[in-house]
Every structure is written in structure tokens, then in C-alpha cells.
Structure 1
Amino acid sequence: MEGMVIFPSLTAESAREFISESPFELLIASVILLCIITRICSDVRSRYRNIQTSESWRPKTIPYWIPYFGHALSLGLRRRSLLEHARDNTAEPAFSLYVCGKRHNIITSPSLAKSLLVEKKSSISPNSFVSHVMEHAFGARRSSRKLNRAAFDAECRSMEFQMQEPHASDCSRATIREIERNMPNMLSFCRSIVDQSFWERMSRVSVVSGDGNNRVCEVNLYSLVRNFVAVTTVTTIMGGDFMEALPNTPDDLWKFNGNFNAIVLGIQRFVPFPGLPTSYRSRRRLLQGMEAFHSAFEIAENGHDPGFDWREMDSVSEFMQSQCRAWKTAGLSVKSMASESLAILWAMNTKVNTIVFWNLIHILEDRQYYSRIMKEISPYSRASRPGAEGTGFRLPEPPRLSLDVDRLVDSCPLLKAAYYETLRLHSCPITYRKIIKDFQLIESEADADIAGRKPQTYQFKEGEFIAVPYNLHNTDSHYFKNPDEFNSERFLAEKSVDINESSEKDAEITKQDPSSITQPKIALQIPETWTAESGNENSISMDGKFAERTTLAFVAGLLTMWDIEPAKGMGWKIPKRRTGGLVYEPKTDIRARIKSKVV
């Protein structure tokens, strides 16, 4: 009996002693135990979910470890691996994540996406998500929540930079002119940094051979492409003064975008997160620059002199001018306008610039496809040097680039197929909405047959969130064979064309090569699931007319004007990727040797 009394007293005493001497170890053990219990409970709920009706299911919730926060960190910092792992391990067209006490439903089926974004528009709202991103990522004030986002989206979906007409055509034409002007001067082959262009200074240019017509230099290809594209497009949209007054804008954009997902997640600058303080400082400089721009624009609008740095405000694109006037009419302050325009600037640069690089590197990697594309675009993308007899001067004229973008768009299926395959493989946009009314979504039989399952019906509740990550469909092996491989042929189809059906634009080619009358012609073939979302528009790819025309023009111009080879001469190696805001970004840069094709 005495032993039975002494044992518990010793146990209690030793427990108190352990608690007093090892509080930190106890805290760690408690946290680990809590995470294990959370994982077990969430796994049980995932396996035994509630059935709403005999035919309606709630999306299965993916198990998680951290109480309350759930999948928050994983969604913000490793979104791609989290979503792809959940898709591959959940044999259903919808699943749920648990983030900060809320269910976030993820749609992977094209038919469910169509039902959601076309038929259930009245049951969902983008305002909550847009406000969150604008306030956390772009520093917008809470007062901006009163904006009618639907009205602004009619001209441009800012955070996706899908510019609408007539601005898309106007800005596209202006950008093409800027490309034709800048492309021959992309590389100066100057050894002095002082004499180099901004995009050269940011690309570690080293001149290998600077003599005669065989001038060659080595560059960081990704840095060169993204900065060259940035300066060209920013000048077109924001006006000629913008880059002169704020020359560090592209560099600050890249630093800000480097931790964009962490900033959206709400991780503050004082948290020991790699590069985060630098990203916040870059955002502050960007916002200050945009404030200076909007202050100058307002002064110029009132008929006064905005100062020497902003003496050419008339060169600001009509698109940006209309946005500025709309924001002013809505009652936004200069600081609020800065956040709105920064969102546009960020989306425009992170989207187009990186896609141009991926598109270019994939074409260069496949020499056979490169040769076919060069032959295809040669009538519509031409680089030349005017002869002395045409100018009257003995000194050689600088090279010139001529682009017929309309024909690049409608007559170059190989080029467009490479562009669409680049979008499929490397773009990662996501549509996020808040559910404001209960509704159901029904999967189509076609999608169910492809996945080898029966059509499912799902119930979604008011107050939850619902998202469509388009890369989940674009990298799904049920819809695309070998989805992780770049294969532009998947967007091409052959068709025979009779001479009586040939269009006027093919008449000259037919005269030059009569055998082409009976030869099969290659045509672009867009997957049905890419046009399923909203009225046969190419919306699954989340791209717009401006981005398409601009990307094709940049790629065609680069291929026509410059001879680009890997620096070490051992073939191209596609760099690994990391998750970005709208497009996956290369983890490392590529050294390349470049020389002009025009002698």
C-alpha cells in the first residue's frame, strides 16, 4: 500500500520538476503533439466527409498539420507543389484547402470552371480577393474598396493585364513601333558601362569580340530579355519621360516580384525571410515613383507645367490617361492611384517579359523547329541595313527591323503554337472568388469520361472561397500527353487546302511554289477546354490581345535581328523554375553569346 501511495507522489513531483526546468522543451513537444492531432483529425474529416444530398457532395478537404492556419504557408510559398500534389492524389474535379479558418475550394475540371465563371456569376464576387491583394501586395488603402471593380475591369483586368479594346490595339501598334526602333540597338557592343543602355548594364554584358562586323558579346539572357522588354513596354504605356525620371523601375519590379507571394500572404518585413526586406523597400520606391507620375499628370491635366522631368506627358498612352481620369473621377487620392497603377505595371512586366524569355529559349533549344519558324516568319519579320546608294551617305546606316504583326498573328501557326505551348507550360494565373450565395456545380460527362470517373455534383457554401488555378488543367496528363514537356506540335494540325479555297494573302506564295497547292498546310489548333470557359474565348490561357501581339513581335524581332547561342557551346539547358505571380520564373540565368545577323 505504501508503494502505491509513494509512486503517484513521485510522478507528480517529477512532472512539476520537468515543467519548471524544461519549459521550452515542453512547449515544443506540445506544439508537435497539437500538429499531429490536427493532422489526424483533418485526415479523418477528409475521409468521412458529409454528404449534402443523395447526389451532392462537399469537396474533400486536404489534410493539414497546422491548426487554424492550415494550408496558408504552403499555398503562399509552394503553391505549385501543393496544388499539383492535391490534384494527383484526389481523384475528383474539386477539393478544398483550409486557410485561416476558411475553406478555399479548388476547381480542376474545365466544365466546372465554365459553370462557375459563366453560369454562377451572380453567386460569386471578386471584390474580397482583389481587395486583399491590392492592400497587402500593392499598398492600397482601405478606401479603395469602394471602387467599382467591374467598371475598371471593362477596360483592363489590372492584376492580369488583360487590356480591352480599343486600348489593346492602340497600345499594341505603339509597342510594335517601339520594338522596331529599339531592337537593332538592343546591344551596343560597348565595353564601357557608361555607353551601354540600361538593359545592358543590368545583364552583365561582356564584349568578346568588338572588331568589324563580327562583334560578339556574352550576356545573362534572361536579364537582358526581361529588362529590354520592360523598358520598351513601360515607355509605350507610361510615356517617354517615365524611364528617364525613374530608371530603376524594372530592377525594383524584379526585387518586389521576387517575394510577391510572401507579401500577398501578409508576411511582414521584420520576419527573417530571405530577401523580404529588400522586396518591401523596392515596393516603397515603386509607389513613390508612381505618386510622382500621378502628381505630374494631374498638374499637366490642369494646364500647368509639371516640371522638367515630366515635360512630355502627352506621350503617355491613351489607355493610362483614361485610367488616371477614371481613378480621379472615382475620388482616389494620388497615393491610391499609385497602388492601382503599380498593379498594372507589375502585371504587364511580370507576364509579358518572362513569357518572351521562355518562348525564345524553347525555340532556340530545338534547332529543327527554330529553322522552320525562321522560314515561316521571314516574309513578315525582316532585318536589313539600307545601302549607301539609298541614303546618299558613305557611312553605313544602322540596321532596321520591319514587323508585320498582323501576318505574324494570322499566318504563322508554328510561331503561335510555340507561344501557346509556352503559356500552357509556364503561366500560372489563378481566378479567385468569394461565394456570396450557396450553389451547386455539376461536372460534364465528357470531363468525367476523360478522368475515368462518374460525373460529380458539388455543393458550395456562402462565405467560402473558390478558385480556378489554370495551370492544374494545363499540366494535367488526362488532357495533355507528357504535360511537363514542351511540345508545340500539340497545338498544330494538318489540313489540305485547295487552290480555289486559298485566300488572297496566300496568292503570292502559291505563284512562287505551285506544289504548295496540294501540300498539306499546318494550322493552329486550340484545345476545346481552352475555349470552354466563357463563350468560346481563349480564356483558360488567361491571355489578351495586347500580350499576344507584343510577345510574338518581341520573339520574331529577337530571332530575326540577333544570332543567339549558348555561351559554352554545349547546347541550351532549360533552367529550373520557381513560382511567380502570373508566370513561373527561371531559378537561374543563362549565359549566351549574341551577335547581329545584319552585316
Structure 2
Amino acid sequence: MDNSTLPTLQPPTASIFTTLLSNGPSYLTAHPVLLVLAVILLLLATTRYLSSRSTPPRKSSNGSPSPIPAVSYTLPLLGHLPAMAYDAAAFTRNLRDIYRSSGAYSLNFGGTVHNIIFAPALATSMLNQPTANAEAETVFKSLMGRVFGWPIVAESEGYDAFLAPLNALYVNFSSKEPLDAMVGRTAERVRAMIGEFVTGNESQVDQTLWERFANAEVKRDAKGEEVVEVDLLELVRDWCARAANASIIGSDFVNNFPEFWKDLYEMDRGFLLLATGLPRWLPIPPLTRAHLARKRMLDSLELFERAVDKHGDGEDAGAEWRELDDVGPVVKGRLELYRKYGISMRARAATELALMWAANANSNSLVFWMLERVYADKALLALLRREIAPYARPAQSTSDFGMPELPRIEVLDVEGICSSCPLLKSCYIECLRVDTASWSLKIVKEDFVLAPRDKEAQRWMLRKGEFAHVAHDLHNTDPNVFEHPDVWKPDRHVKYDEDGKVVGADFGSMRPYGGGGHMCKGRQFAYKECMMFVAAIIAMWDIDPVGGGEWKMPKHKKATGVYNTSSPTRVWVKRRTLP
């Protein structure tokens, strides 16, 4: 594509064109509609021409840094915003193919320059830039206020002082010993809860909370066997939340606020609208619901913070807060920081809300996509059950009266699942490739040269005030990197030695957790919980489409990281017949 080539504007008719030439301004004055049309066409053509001229050569001839190639646009002021709003995925992927040799391109959003980086070498360089060149803290601070409700205006200085020690705390508690403790406690809850993934109880009074949220109904299949029909997305997300979050925020909070996770997913649906800073009173239903859900969650978390504060002073926090000792090390460790920096209760609540969102919004939805993919392929399901058998072993015992008890997970070896099940790990990575669309954003603070390690490669100049986006999904869906990128292939990431023996599975050139100083701090916990959740569920339960027909994969719906879906996700669940 030659970005300096201008489109030829054809006149509506030859007769109008001739008339305009002969009569000039008098004709346009007599026909104001044509005058407006002519002005608009001239403005669009001029905008297109000027934006095309701003496009630099793809690669400098002498190896000196050049600005990242700019994509021409037609609409002044708006730039490429209409194209992004119409179909961002198709638009950005098409540009990736056009600017493949550059590894990046720049777009104009309302007069601001946004550099879209997709080549792995450039992405790695961008993610590892020092904060003096490019930083994400400004973006995070904005999100903390607009999305999570931190009182930025009143406590801006406190936030700035609090941020560095808070990040250091995250690093400390993602080390082996605290991580192992959190994973171990989560595994205990999985073993206790997996037998009630669905209960088969017809009355909602007797159902679990996750069954109620999933609108569970007892049905009979074609063989006359009892099955439970549920919304799989709602069932999985809520079950995972209750299994994992006690190890983070404590069992008291999980038990005292059973509606919290429902509100969390409601807020997540309006995340992007909240991030714009739009006020609550605008008549946009998802925005209104997100504001209301956030307020309820902040109120709940503020009650929790007051209880933790009292407990930290050795005071009685109240009858509903008797198990605060089991609050996870990350949350418990922040109390000293809150006090040291004078962080208000509302700001503390906003900090915990951000943690709860980060721990749940993406990983729990990813478990749903893994289950959708695995159960859709019965041959794959059989292979995975064989692979996990030594590490996720169900058992059924009999009571003292000779009656069979409900099946349970006798062995749940998380380390074995994560280190010795390469096919399951490959499925996890493949879902991160196909079922997520994450970008990493930084603001350029000073002019700097973006260069890959290859000294012969083209270097690019980024200017102060520009934005830099590492578009992970553009790499993950690149047909030059992944054969048939739109196809979910379970063993795509399995690695073999020279003798053809499986040696593991890895991410290759994928960077699903970002990189540099802002790499996801909870990535190891997220990986281990996803692997154990999926292993436990497929070891214990059979899942089929409603009616036992063909499995229809839900359609993706754009979200903040892992895709959501608006497609029906009703399925039949029943206990697996153990071998």
C-alpha cells in the first residue's frame, strides 16, 4: 500500500461539474446543499492528503530512527476513532498486515498520536522501557479513580506516596512461600466444593449460591438420567470466585457478601464506559448499572476495612467477623501501609476492589472458555482426563451403612497438574491466545528511540506526549506466526525434543501478562488456579449441550482482557461415572 497515493474524487455528474465551472460562486450560492457538499468533500480530501503526506518512509535508508508509520485518515478531529468504533479488530488486523515490515503503525484518536506495536521484538523493547521514557502509572491512577472509586482529587498525594511500597508488597507476596500458601488453601476449598459444583436440588432454597446465579434447573436427558441445566458462564465464574477469594480476602468477606461477585461482573461489563469518566446520570444502562454495582461493592469493602482495622488493634470487630485471621497475606500486609500513609477507608476499599477485579474478572472467565473448548471435543476430554489422572484423582467411598457417598477429589496435586500436564497447559495458553484481546498501554514521557535487539533492524522515534500500545492480540492472531490463527488448536504449544518426546508446553513469543515492571503480579496464582479448577471439574463432571446436540461455541464479546459473550451458555451437567 502506498500511503502517499490519493483517492480520486469523482463528481456526482458531469453536468453539475460543467455548471460549476461555468457559473462559479453564483451557482453554489443558489444551491446551498451543493455548497455544503463541496466544502465537506474538499475538507475530507484535504485531511486525507495531509495525513498521507505525514506518513514517513517505511524504513530509513541510512538506519537512523524514523517516526512510526502513520495511517492516513479522512475525518478531521476524529481521525481513526470511527473505524475503531465500527470494528476495531478487523481494522487493526488489516493494518497489521499492511505494516507488517514495520512492526508498528500509528493512529490518530481525536488529535492524539497512538503508536500500535505488534512485532515481538519491538513489543519487548517497549514493555521494558524505563519509566523516564514511558510509563503507565498515569493510566493506572486514572483507572483507580474513574473505575474503582479511589478519591483521587482528595487523596492524590497519598496515592502517589503509597504506590511504590504497595507494588513492592505485591512482589513480596508473589514469591514462593506466600504463593504456595494461597494456592494450597485454594486447593483445599476446591476439594471441599467440587462435589457441589451442581447439587441436583430442585428447590432454590437448597441450591448453592452459584447454582442460583446460574438459574439451575433439574431435567432428564434422553436416557432418563437426571441432569442439571445451568448457565455455564455464570456457574463457573461464581464457583471459581468463591473457591479462590477466601485465600485472598478471607472467608468472612466471602460469606458476608454473597452478591459481591455478581456486582463485580456487572461492573466489569461497564468497565470501558467507567474508564471514560462519563457521569452516572447519562442514560446509558450499562454505565448506570456499573456505577450502582461499584457503590455496593465499595460499601461492602469499607465495612470489611473497618473490621480489619479493629482486628489489627486487637479489638472485637463484631459477630460477623470472627475469622479475620484467615485473610490472605496480600490484604493483611497492606494494613500497615494504609496506616502509615493515612489512607482513608474509602480509598482502602477502592484498593481492595481493584485487587478483587484483577483476581476475578479475567481468570474466572478464562476457566469458562477452557471448559467450553475442552468439552466440545470428546477426544480431547479423554486425553486430558488420562493426563491429569495421577494429580486430580476422584474417588467414591461408602458410608458406615454401606450406602455410596458423593464422589470427591481424593488427590489434588496442583504442582503435578502445572508441571506434568503439558496438554492441559497448552490448552490454557491457547485460550490466552484465542479468547483474550489484551493491550498494554504506556504514555511517552520523553523522546526516545524504540529499537529491538537486532542492531540491523529499523529503529523508531517516539515523541513526548504520544501513546504506545503493545497490541498482544495482533501478534496472537498473526497468520505469519500461528498457522490458521483463528482455529483453536489444543496441542499448539506442546514442545518436543529431537526424539519426538513431549518435554512441556510454553508461551513462545506470546506475552499475555505484559512485561517489564508492570508484568501482572498475580500471573503465577492465576495460572495455578485456572489449571486446578479445570482439572478438578473435568475429573468429576460431564458437561453436554442442552438436549445433547452439537456443541456451539459462544461468540466473543469485547471485554477488558478475556472475552465475554452474549451468546447462550446453557448446558447440562451431571456427575461423571468414575472408572
Place the TM-score, normalised by the shorter chain, in its bin: 0.7 to 0.9
The residue that corresponds to 1:431 in the other structure is 440
Q: Please, which moves more after superposition, 276-285 or 31-40?
A: 31-40
Question: Structure 2 matches for 1:22-421, cutoff 5 A?
Answer: 38-46=47-55, 55-64=64-73, 67-71=76-80, 79-91=88-100, 92-118=102-128, 120=130, 122-142=132-152, 143-144=155-156, 145-156=159-170, 163-209=174-220, 214-388=225-399, 392-401=400-409, 402-421=411-430
Aligned residues of 1:294 and 1:334 also touching (Cα < 8 A):
yes
Question: Percent of pairs identical after alignment?
Answer: 28
Q: Deviations over 1:186-232 (max 9, x none)?
A: 1111111111111101112110149xx95311111111111111122
Aligned residues of 2:477 and 2:486 also touching (Cα < 8 A):
yes
Tell me the TM-score normalized by structure 2.
Answer: 0.85
Q: Give SS of 1:83's match.
A: helix
Aligned residues of 1:155 and 1:165 also touching (Cα < 8 A):
no
Unaligned stretches of 5+ residues in structure 2: 1-22
Aligned residues of 1:134 and 1:339 also touching (Cα < 8 A):
yes
Tell me, in whole angstroms, the C-alpha distance in 2 between the residues paired with 1:437 and 1:36: 33
The residue that corresponds to 1:481 in the other structure is 483
Aligned residues of 2:264 and 2:297 also touching (Cα < 8 A):
yes
Q: Give SS of 2:543's match.
A: strand
Q: Give SS of 1:250's match.
A: helix
Q: Deviations over 1:490-516 (max 9, x none)?
A: 21133478xxxxxxxxxxxxxxxxxxx
Aligned residues of 2:169 and 2:333 also touching (Cα < 8 A):
no
Cα deviation, residue 361, structure 1: 1.2
Higher helix share: 1
Q: Which of the residues 497, 509, 516 maps onto 1:529?
A: 509
2:529 maps to 1:550: yes
* Distance change (3 Å), C-alpha of 1:10 and 1:548: closer
Tell me, in whole angstroms, the C-alpha distance in 2 between the residues paired with 1:308 and 1:10: 85
Tell me, in whole angstroms, the C-alpha distance in 2 between the residues paired with 1:72 and 1:328: 44
Aligned residues of 1:413 and 1:524 also touching (Cα < 8 A):
yes
* Distance change (3 Å), C-alpha of 1:36 and 1:343: farther
The RMSD of aligned alpha carbons is: 3.6
Tell me, in whole angstroms, the C-alpha distance in 2 between the residues paired with 1:117 and 1:110: 10
Tell me the TM-score normalized by structure 1.
Answer: 0.82
* Distance change (3 Å), C-alpha of 1:8 and 1:481: closer
Aligned residues of 1:76 and 1:261 also touching (Cα < 8 A):
no
Tell me, in whole angstroms, the C-alpha distance in 1 between the residues paired with 2:118 and 2:48: 24
The residue that corresponds to 1:576 in the other structure is 555
Question: Structure 2 matches for 1:425-574, cutoff 5 A?
Answer: 425-443=434-452, 455-495=457-497, 521-526=501-506, 528-530=508-510, 544-574=523-553
Cα deviation, residue 298, structure 1: 1.0
Aligned residues of 2:437 and 2:563 also touching (Cα < 8 A):
yes
Cα deviation, residue 251, structure 1: 1.2
Q: Please, which moves more after superposition, 37-46 or 260-269?
A: 37-46
Unaligned stretches of 5+ residues in structure 1: 1-6, 447-453, 498-519
Q: Deviations over 1:524-567 (max 9, x none)?
A: 242542479999x9x99997211111001100111011111111
Q: Give SS of 1:266's match.
A: coil
Aligned residues of 1:360 and 1:555 also touching (Cα < 8 A):
yes
Tell me, in whole angstroms, the C-alpha distance in 1 between the residues paired with 2:39 and 2:318: 62
Q: Give SS of 1:577's match.
A: coil
Q: Give SS of 1:275's match.
A: helix
Aligned residues of 1:384 and 1:598 also touching (Cα < 8 A):
no
Would you say how many aligned residue pairs link Structure 1 and Structure 2?
549
- In structure 1, give the amino acid aligned to 2:472: Y
Tell me, in whole angstroms, the C-alpha distance in 1 between the residues paired with 2:91 and 2:177: 39
Cα deviation, residue 111, structure 1: 0.9
